[in-house]
Structure 1
């Protein structure tokens, strides 16, 4: 086992790191909505059809969905700043291509590369956890998380202004400049985190996940135009389901999976991710409906006839509200816990949507309702990274946040498709044009409110935790230690034969009982932990089929031996007849419902032993083929070894039973 200090180096100013990371998040979020105001004009600009032009948004969503979990996982393994630079470089190249070239293919390639930039946000959140003082992490993470909405809110008015005064190429030149400046800023300001998992990248898992995500996102985003029951749409969903069914078992078997499904299935992570989908749905419903409502002709009776640019500018108060309320959400988390913050965020969004339904007469009323929803978005989004990072190993924070960000994107994409369906379902004829009615918009508001309310309900089911400012247990420890250093400690878990144990769980605890970090072993039996304080700790080790162990260890030690799990859990006992042990007797173990589990044969002393099966009700059966005698015994198996002796019928009873059977014949 080895340890390496993470932060024995001079750190840049905390405020500067937060500013650079947050601006980076805003820049990459801009790419999602940067071309949306130009979609009506792109068919003419690029000489293509409206359906082809819509791919300029779709391809960005697809690539960002695929890239986010992959880049986040690579960041955990090989360096977070390194992968941030890769993401920014992709945005720069992706912006240069359409800035210098014309034609749909070139712009599509550029927009696809821009989509890689979205992966920067979860990586940046993880950098904040690694590099910032504990008391600053909560507010910084809240702001970084809110950039997902801030960038989208700013992107639409910015694009409209640039397009009106310059050319469509200028949009991409602005992205080149912004991303280039932030590339240099990250290179100069953001330190490289030493919190890494190392190991081997799961290429099979990445490929299968990419195919499944592509099918899902493509089906959702294009289902409205292709038709929800069309062969293309159903085919996309079928591919997603089939490939996901193949992908999941590979992740469960892999020592270092692309997505740790066991960790993702833990209640705090699972419920937070479900809430992420719902809040993403509610957030995007506000963003799309607000601009569309404001651009509707006044003749509709509810529209305001605003231009694309003016309608986009009306989104700015919401974006600024997100910036202002991000630190407030961190205060709520510090005093009451991230669970409460998530609930409050969802409920604020519900209030905002009720305002949207009831107040539609003026632009000011619409902006107020939209801003309330944006405030709820900022508060709710700020809580989710904190909840995620508290429930996963510190060395996996980037990949866990990447999955959370991906699921938010699934929510926004689903919201776009659902909103389009609702607005086209209830329409009115306005001259030669068919436009949505006000009721159609209100239906979308109620649906988004329901999603936000459900997210708050899901958050209620989250386990309660003590309020804290830090983003993880080791973060609190680092503040308490006062030295600002973190050490990555690695070791191995092996069985009695020296073979590595895969998927064993190792937890580090201080002698006073304070939790530090935990990790799961890979296919080599290796685990990694982030330890803030030097000195004595307790390691608690658990592995399927073995009795748990705990031991004291010292991070200062030059070498810590591998932890050997010697006490294998088992079902064991003795088979007897007339008090005498019976050798060579098979003992079968079957589930109470009839499924076969295992068979062991007794030794010279009549003893049998078989590995402990999963918990449940079982039946043990001893079979003596020489006398055709058998006996069964019901047992309940939990998480500890079971001892069960079995007694075969005596020879006298067996002879009597045989004679009785012959007489009846």
Structure 2
């Protein structure tokens, strides 16, 4: 564990404080939900305007999560947690003292949105600071706090409003935020795993603008109409079209798209959107059913009573969090995530055929919550096992953002569905029971689709293996009697020029994988290692000969240089009969027609071409007389190859 210059905190205390911070995040999202109708009346505004109290937090969360997570990797995870907590508490104070000013309430709610980054950053701290055998269960518990916080938020908000007025909801957030902030300062150590570099400001602006436009479409599109939707979607597409190529070229991007495109990370993130959708569907449909008038097939419960009925689901998430951690350790993240999604899918399908009694609604909601707890626990483990240790906060931040996109989409889709499928009861239009059945089928299909996506994660990869077989890359261990360190170096080509985007892997001399990194545009890389010792360092890049070396990192400040071998080549000799042919034109083309490369043979008939991607290709040779030619089909792999070509002695 990195030294912090103070007495180390117990593992249990660190887990407890970080999980309380996670609960605070979900409370910020749900405490205000039950009060929206009252705010519209108290502030003399429309229901559409009142919904900005939710939208403002949503937009800030979307912008803050990837930005804060990246800053946490660069400047310190505990530091960024403290900053987010202070911003959240400041926003709560502004809202509490707003005296009914709608503008100040919006500002306060926007600042509260910074709390969303606490969960991905907190999970990354767990990776850095906890013993490896505790990491999975701690992540599972922190993920479960989303459920308990969400379940408590609805009844707690209604209770505080009824007893002490609406400002008490924000005063509670002030007190809780300050208490959590002090606890983080006293208990949580600052991680020594940091990545130096320049913050990608332009990338942050482009991505934030794109996310803002997209979330406005999701949250406000139904009210604003087709023209506004088209404009916002166009803006989103244009901004992303600029951001993607920019992020691929910049030296240290806000989001490493190459790492995010790896199959385990990509499929986990795609599944996260669907799991977020299914989780929010459970909350929205269950509370709507409980509050629906009895004559329309509901139970007519108030917001407080409906919220209390959701508490068993939140408690089920906490109860099953240790089970989730054990599943990850024994079965691996892939199978655990598939299991969670399958439980959600089966539970939704079961709810279609169960009666709509109060007990069946509560039990059905709790079973979906259990599946959500298992799935939410597995996703960070899968992500962290497949990204560099120095980028765990950034990667978790992106995953949290995508889950939030899923929940936001669910809110918009299901709200539209529940208002579109209606019946008339005693002259009043209310949601039809058929709307709930449709939602169950939709959420069940989404959950099972997530199962299928996770199934595509490679079975024999590190992230899918239980810890008994492979030590995860996301573990913390000791080596050489020292604490975990971050070392930096450079990858160079044989001519000493930097090799951008080369991949560097560190392995113990006994074989356990430790960390990997992708070099930036200057060839610089960072690795998190368990201590100052000797390690096997492997460098690789597409189209180049890999290199490995044993490097001693005993000296602080050492910046090792890893030189790749030369480019992989296709070589050979062109002959006609027994004589070499110089000046022949060689063309390498794909079987689909594209020309890959051309060159001319030397005086001794030899030629050299950069090795094309693996597969079938056509090598064509044209003699210097420009009449004699031959074409041969070759197959290339990932190794340099030799292919001699014999020209015919007669023209073709």
In 1, are the aligned partners of 2:589 and 2:597 still within 8 Å (CA)?
yes
For residues 234-245 of structure 1, what are the structure 2 equivalents within 5 Å? Answer: 234-245=230-241
Query: 1-side partners of 2:49 and 2:330: how far apart?
Result: 50
**Cα 1:204–1:360, aligned 2, differ >3 Å: closer, same or farther?**
same
Aligned partner (choices 314, 339, 343) of residue 348 of structure 1:
343
The answer to whether residue 293 in structure 2 is matched with residue 297 in structure 1 is yes
In 2, are the aligned partners of 1:486 and 1:532 still within 8 Å (CA)?
yes
**Cα 1:490–1:39, aligned 2, differ >3 Å: closer, same or farther?**
same
Cα deviation digits, residues 78-127 of structure 1 (max 9, x gap): 21111111211221122122211232222222212211210111010000
SS of the counterpart of 1:556? coil
**Which segment drifts farther, 359-368 or 62-71?**
359-368
The answer to whether residue 504 in structure 2 is matched with residue 506 in structure 1 is yes
**Which segment drifts farther, 243-252 or 640-649?**
640-649
Partner of 2:32: 35
In 2, are the aligned partners of 1:220 and 1:413 still within 8 Å (CA)?
yes
The answer to whether residue 274 in structure 2 is matched with residue 278 in structure 1 is yes
Query: 2-side partners of 1:572 and 1:167: how far apart?
Result: 80
SS of the counterpart of 1:41? helix
Cα deviation digits, residues 39-63 of structure 1 (max 9, x gap): 1122222222211111211221122
Post-superposition offset of 1:501: 0.6
For residues 310-325 of structure 1, what are the structure 2 equivalents within 5 Å? Answer: 310-325=305-320
Query: 2-side partners of 1:471 and 1:91: how far apart?
Result: 40
In 1, are the aligned partners of 2:491 and 2:563 still within 8 Å (CA)?
yes
The answer to whether residue 69 in structure 2 is matched with residue 72 in structure 1 is yes
The unaligned stretches of length 5 or more in structure 1 are 658-665
The answer to whether residue 564 in structure 2 is matched with residue 568 in structure 1 is no
For residues 530-609 of structure 1, what are the structure 2 equivalents within 5 Å? Answer: 530-557=528-555, 559=558, 561-609=560-608
In 2, are the aligned partners of 1:133 and 1:484 still within 8 Å (CA)?
no
Query: 2-side partners of 1:588 and 1:475: how far apart?
Result: 46
Query: 2-side partners of 1:56 and 1:223: how far apart?
Result: 16
**Cα 1:544–1:54, aligned 2, differ >3 Å: closer, same or farther?**
same
**Cα 1:330–1:542, aligned 2, differ >3 Å: closer, same or farther?**
same
**Which segment drifts farther, 309-318 or 16-25?**
309-318
**Cα 1:185–1:8, aligned 2, differ >3 Å: closer, same or farther?**
closer
**Cα 1:47–1:470, aligned 2, differ >3 Å: closer, same or farther?**
farther
Partner of 2:260: 264
Partner of 1:159: 157
The answer to whether residue 208 in structure 2 is matched with residue 213 in structure 1 is no
In 2, are the aligned partners of 1:137 and 1:471 still within 8 Å (CA)?
no
SS of the counterpart of 2:457? coil
Using the size of structure 1 for normalisation, the TM-score is: 0.91
Partner of 1:618: 617
Query: 1-side partners of 2:469 and 2:222: how far apart?
Result: 43
In 1, are the aligned partners of 2:571 and 2:642 still within 8 Å (CA)?
yes
Query: 1-side partners of 2:481 and 2:287: how far apart?
Result: 50
Query: 2-side partners of 1:358 and 1:122: how far apart?
Result: 37
SS of the counterpart of 1:415? helix
Post-superposition offset of 1:34: 2.0
Post-superposition offset of 1:432: 4.2
In 2, are the aligned partners of 1:135 and 1:469 still within 8 Å (CA)?
no
Partner of 1:330: 325
For residues 134-173 of structure 1, what are the structure 2 equivalents within 5 Å? Answer: 134-173=132-171
Equivalent pairs counted in the alignment come to 645
Query: 2-side partners of 1:584 and 1:344: how far apart?
Result: 63
**Cα 1:170–1:501, aligned 2, differ >3 Å: closer, same or farther?**
same
The answer to whether residue 247 in structure 2 is matched with residue 251 in structure 1 is yes
Post-superposition offset of 1:477: 6.1
Using the size of structure 2 for normalisation, the TM-score is: 0.93
Query: 2-side partners of 1:532 and 1:203: how far apart?
Result: 31
Query: 2-side partners of 1:475 and 1:572: how far apart?
Result: 42
Partner of 1:54: 51
**Cα 1:471–1:217, aligned 2, differ >3 Å: closer, same or farther?**
farther
The two structures, once aligned, show a CA RMSD in angstroms of 2.4
Query: 2-side partners of 1:398 and 1:216: how far apart?
Result: 23
Partner of 1:119: 117
In 1, are the aligned partners of 2:535 and 2:550 still within 8 Å (CA)?
yes
Post-superposition offset of 1:355: 4.8
SS of the counterpart of 1:248? helix
Cα deviation digits, residues 396-433 of structure 1 (max 9, x gap): 11111111111111111111122122212321112343
In 1, are the aligned partners of 2:480 and 2:533 still within 8 Å (CA)?
no
In 1, are the aligned partners of 2:471 and 2:513 still within 8 Å (CA)?
no
Post-superposition offset of 1:330: 0.8
Query: 1-side partners of 2:509 and 2:208: how far apart?
Result: 44
The unaligned stretches of length 5 or more in structure 2 are none
Query: 1-side partners of 2:519 and 2:582: how far apart?
Result: 39
Cα deviation digits, residues 174-204 of structure 1 (max 9, x gap): 1111111111211222111111222122223
SS of the counterpart of 1:315? helix
Cα deviation digits, residues 569-593 of structure 1 (max 9, x gap): 1222333445444444443333332
**Cα 1:377–1:561, aligned 2, differ >3 Å: closer, same or farther?**
closer
SS of the counterpart of 2:539? strand
Query: 1-side partners of 2:354 and 2:590: how far apart?
Result: 62
In 1, are the aligned partners of 2:532 and 2:555 still within 8 Å (CA)?
no
The answer to whether residue 71 in structure 2 is matched with residue 92 in structure 1 is no
Cα deviation digits, residues 256-309 of structure 1 (max 9, x gap): 222222222222212211221111111101111111111111121x21111111
